[in-house]
C-alpha cells in the first residue's frame, strides 16, 4: 500500500510539473519583458464626458452578468435533484439517459439566464449600440442554444460511455478526446463564421493587406468583411482558424467613416499578429491544459456511471469554469497585447493605434479603465487605456 501511494504521488508530481512547464511555454510572448507602460490620463485621451457615459453603460452590463451567473448556478443546483429523480423513469439506458438529463439541465439553465441576455440587448439598444430587434436577439440566442446543445450531446456521449467503461478513470481517455473535439471545432468554425461575408473590394486596401502580410510574415490568409451595420454600430474584427482555415474578418462598421484608413490598417495588422503567433492553436493548447484539472475533479467528485448524476457534474464544471475565468482572461489579454505589439511593429503607426482605441470607446462605449474585479472576471482584452499606453511605450522605444 505504501509503495502504491508513493508511485501515485510521484505520478501526480510529475504530471503537475509537466503541466507547469507547458503552461510556462504557452505563457511566453514576444512583447519585451522589460516593457513599462507610461501612466497616461484617461480623461485627456478619451474625454471625461465619454468616460462617464462608458462607465454608466458598462455598469449595467457588468451587474447583469453577475446576476445571470448567479441565477445560472442556481438553475444548475436546482436541476441536480430533478435529474436524479427523472433518470430512473426514462428507461433509455445509461448513456442515453445521461444525455437527456444533461441536455434538459443545459436547456433549463439557458432559459433561466435568457431574461438577462434580453436585458443586455435592451440596454445596448437604449444606448444605440445594438440595432437588433428583440425577435432577432431571441432567434440568435436560440441558434446559440442549438449549436451548444450539439456540442454538449457529443461531449456527454464521449464522457458517459467512457465512465461506464473505465469508472472514475474515464478522464484519462476523455481528456485527449475532448481536446480533439475542440481542435476540430477551431478548424471548422471559420467556414461557418464567414458565411455571408465578402472579400475586400478596395484595391488599395488589398495592397496594404499584402504589404502587412509580408512585413509580419503572416502568409496569405483570406480577409473578409462582414456586413453588420444593420445589427450594431460597434466596430470589431477577429481572426479565426488554424493552418489552411485561417481567416481574418472585419466588421463593416470599421468603414462607416468613424475610423481612418490608417486605423483600419492597424486593426488588420493586429489580427494578422494573432495568426503569426498561432494564438488560436495556442488557445487550443490552453484549453487542453485547463480542462484537465476540471475533468479530474469532476471524475472524483461525481460518479458518472449513474446517469442521474449528470446534473451535479455540470454544476461542478460550471463552478470550475468560473474559478478558472481570471486565468483564462489573463491568458487571452496577454495574446491580445502581443497582437497589438506585432501590429505596431507592422504598421509603425502608434498614432493610428491610439485613434483606433479611442474610436472603440466612442462606438462601443468600452470603459477605458474598468473596476479591478470587472477587468479580472470579464475583460479578455487589455483596457483601452492600457492599449493606448502600450502604443505610447512603443513610440518611446522607436
Question: What contacts 16, CB < 8 A, 6 or more positions away?
Answer: none
Percent of the chain clearing pLDDT 70 (strictly above):
98
The gap between the terminal CA atoms of the chain, to the nearest Å, is 63
Q: What are phi and psi of 50, to 5 degrees?
A: -65, -40
**Residue-level length of the chain:** 398
Q: DSSP per residue over 93-120, as a string?
A: -HHHHHHHHHHHHHHHHHHHHHHHHHHH
| Confidence at 10, pLDDT banded by 50, 70, 90 | confident
Query: In terms of Cα–Cα distance, which of 255, 258, 247, 227 is closest to 364?
Result: 258
Q: How many helices (H) and strands (E) does the chain have?
A: 13, 4
| Confidence at 5, pLDDT banded by 50, 70, 90 | low
Q: What are phi and psi of 194, to 5 degrees?
A: -100, 10
Question: What contacts 98, CB < 8 A, 6 or more positions away?
Answer: 87, 156, 160, 304, 307, 310
Tell me the average pLDDT of the chain: 93
- Summarize pLDDT for 135-147 with one digit per residue, the tens: 999 999 999 999 9
Per the CB < 8 A criterion, the answer to whether 177 and 163 are in contact is: no
Residue 137: Cβ within 10 Å count: 20
135/138 Cα distance (integer angstroms): 5
Per the CB < 8 A criterion, the answer to whether 268 and 243 are in contact is: no
pTM over 0.85: yes
Region of poorest pLDDT, from 5-9, 40-44, 71-75, 191-195 = 5-9
| Confidence at 130, pLDDT banded by 50, 70, 90 | very high
Q: Is the pLDDT confidence value at 123 over 90?
A: yes
Average pLDDT over residues 246-250: 96
| Confidence at 1, pLDDT banded by 50, 70, 90 | low
Sign of the Cα pseudo-torsion (152, 157, 160, 166, in order)? negative
Q: Which helix (H) or strand (E) holds 198?
A: strand 198-199
Q: Is the pLDDT confidence value at 26 over 90?
A: yes
Cell of 109: 439553465
Per the CB < 8 A criterion, the answer to whether 321 and 295 are in contact is: no
Q: Where are the domains of the chain?
A: 53-201+232-397
Q: What are phi and psi of 302, to 5 degrees?
A: -135, 135
Query: In terms of Cα–Cα distance, which of 174, 176, 155 is closest to 166?
Result: 174
Q: Which helix (H) or strand (E) holds 3?
A: helix 2-27
Q: Taking each helix axis from N to C terminus, what angle separates 94-126 and 310-347, rounded to the nearest 10 degrees? A: 50
Q: What are phi and psi of 296, to 5 degrees?
A: -60, -50
Tell me how far apart the 2 most distant CA atoms of the chain are, in Å: 73
Average pLDDT over residues 265-270: 97
Residue 233: Cβ within 10 Å count: 19
Q: Pick the more confident residue, 393 or 10.
A: 393
160/99 Cα distance (integer angstroms): 8
- Summarize pLDDT for 209-244 with one digit per residue, the tens: 999 999 999 999 999 999 999 999 999 999 999 999
Cell of 251: 466588421
224/237 Cα distance (integer angstroms): 10
| Residue written as grid cell 483600419 | 264
E strand segments, 261-348? none
Amino acid at each position: 500500500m505504501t509503495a502504491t501511494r508513493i508511485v501515485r504521488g510521484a505520478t501526480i508530481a510529475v504530471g503537475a510539473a509537466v503541466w507547469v512547464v507547458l503552461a510556462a511555454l504557452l505563457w511566453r510572448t514576444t512583447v519585451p519583458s522589460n516593457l513599462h507602460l507610461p501612466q497616461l490620463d484617461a480623461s485627456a485621451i478619451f474625454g471625461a464626458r465619454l468616460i462617464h457615459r462608458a462607465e454608466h453603460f458598462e455598469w449595467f452590463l457588468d451587474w447583469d452578468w453577475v446576476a445571470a451567473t448567479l441565477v445560472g448556478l442556481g438553475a444548475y443546483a436546482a436541476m441536480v435533484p430533478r435529474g436524479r429523480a427523472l433518470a430512473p423513469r426514462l428507461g433509455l439506458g445509461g448513456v442515453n439517459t445521461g444525455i437527456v438529463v444533461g441536455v434538459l439541465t443545459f436547456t433549463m439553465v439557458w432559459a433561466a439566464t435568457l431574461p438577462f441576455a434580453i436585458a443586455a440587448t435592451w440596454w445596448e439598444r437604449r444606448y444605440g449600440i445594438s440595432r437588433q430587434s428583440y425577435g432577432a436577439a431571441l432567434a440568435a440566442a436560440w441558434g446559440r442554444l442549438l449549436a451548444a446543445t450539439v456540442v454538449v450531446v457529443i461531449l456527454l456521449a464521449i464522457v458517459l460511455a467512457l465512465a461506464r467503461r473505465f469508472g472514475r478513470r474515464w478522464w484519462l481517455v476523455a481528456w485527449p478526446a475532448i481536446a480533439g473535439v475542440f481542435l476540430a471545432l477551431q478548424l471548422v468554425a471559420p467556414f461557418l463564421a464567414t458565411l455571408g461575408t465578402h472579400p475586400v473590394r478596395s484595391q488599395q486596401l488589398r495592397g496594404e493587406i499584402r504589404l502587412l502580410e509580408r512585413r509580419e510574415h503572416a502568409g496569405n490568409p483570406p480577409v473578409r468583411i462582414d456586413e453588420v451595420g444593420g445589427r450594431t454600430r460597434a466596430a470589431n474584427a477577429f481572426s479565426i482558424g488554424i493552418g489552411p482555415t485561417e481567416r481574418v474578418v472585419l466588421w463593416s462598421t470599421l468603414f462607416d467613416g468613424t475610423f481612418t484608413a490608417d486605423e483600419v490598417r492597424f486593426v488588420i495588422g493586429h489580427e494578422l499578429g494573432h495568426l503569426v503567433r498561432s494564438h488560436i492553436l495556442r488557445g487550443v493548447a490552453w484549453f487542453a491544459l485547463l480542462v484537465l484539472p476540471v475533468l479530474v475533479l469532476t471524475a472524483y467528485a461525481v460518479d458518472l456511471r449513474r446517469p442521474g448524476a449528470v446534473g451535479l457534474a455540470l454544476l461542478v464544471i460550471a463552478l470550475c469554469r468560473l474559478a478558472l475565468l481570471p486565468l483564462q482572461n489573463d491568458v487571452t489579454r496577454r495574446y491580445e497585447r502581443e497582437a497589438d505589439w506585432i501590429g505596431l511593429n507592422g504598421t509603425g503607426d502608434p498614432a493610428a493605434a491610439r485613434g483606433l482605441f479611442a474610436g472603440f470607446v466612442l462606438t462601443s462605449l468600452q470603459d477605458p479603465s474598468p473596476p479591478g474585479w470587472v477587468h479580472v472576471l470579464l475583460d479578455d482584452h487589455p483596457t483601452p487605456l492600457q492599449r493606448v499606453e502600450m502604443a505610447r511605450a512603443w513610440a518611446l522605444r522607436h
